[in-house]
Chain A
Amino acid sequence: MDELPIQTGDDVVRIRQHVRNAAAASGLSLVDQTKLVTAASELARNTLIHGGGGVVRVEVVKSAVGRNGVRLHFADEGPGIPDVDLALTDGWTSGSGLGLGLSGSRRLVDEFELKSEPGLGTNVVVVKWSR
């Protein structure tokens, strides 16, 4: 498992490249690699902008039925998300974006778990499995 910092825009670019390599190594198709890297880019930006920076843990995993996958865990200790359901709604935005970051990245991965509490930061774990 690798842990990468998310403190600058350059870090977001590095995370994309790292996730791309992990996705290719675990046998994801080109389309699935692209979906996972895109989701990683959205979530890393959220961690940077809304969470005030944090880390991502990148792990190549194996499912119970033997499928390979990549698991990403984004963690920050920022202000947290007051209403998680609202934040996952298409088009809802806290800033100037389109409101597709969270809801869109959920569609791009196979598993998506978001835990957040005001004052305690935000944790997002996503998994993409090879087919």
Chain B
Amino acid sequence: MEQVPILKIGQTLFVSIQIDLQDESVLRLQEDLAEELAATSARGVIIDITAVEIVDSFIGRMLAMIGQISRLFDAETVIVGMRPAVAITLTELGLSLSGVRTALNAEKGLAILNGRA
């Protein structure tokens, strides 16, 4: 199983998913992020999925859950860089990712988090 690295820059945790995610890797990421949020008191999480070719119902549910978990640590999660084909497929699949913010790219995601301060 591959692990997704988490970078802390200022008050924000950055995650860039560069691997083809298997279920265990997503679960691991969820746990690692919760640990990091508790340990660092970061106020925001940016998850970059530019390189992610598909988001199925499991991965989508895990992303939404990361958003909910981060809120319990007084942090907001923004998913950035979703590919158009992924957005179309997610919608047809019936997954709305409600409860998690999205932005076009990391820069705009960061602007959303900073605007919150």
Contacts and interface: CB of A to CB of B under 8 A. Distances in A.
A34 B57 contact: no
A16 interface: yes
Assign chain B's interface to a size class: 20 to 34
A2 interface: no
B100 to A, nearest CB: 14
Contact of A90 (B86, B88, B92, B94): B94
- A interface, over-half SS: helix
Assign chain A's interface to a size class: 20 to 34
A101 B85 contact: no
A12 B89 contact: no
A104 B94 contact: yes
Given A9-B24, A13-B20, A107 B1 contact: no
Interface string B1-21: 100000000000000000011
8 contacts: A9-B24, A12-B22, A16-B20, A97-B57, A100-B57, A101-B57, A104-B95, A108-B93
Interface of B: 1, 20-24, 53-58, 61, 83-86, 88-89, 92-95
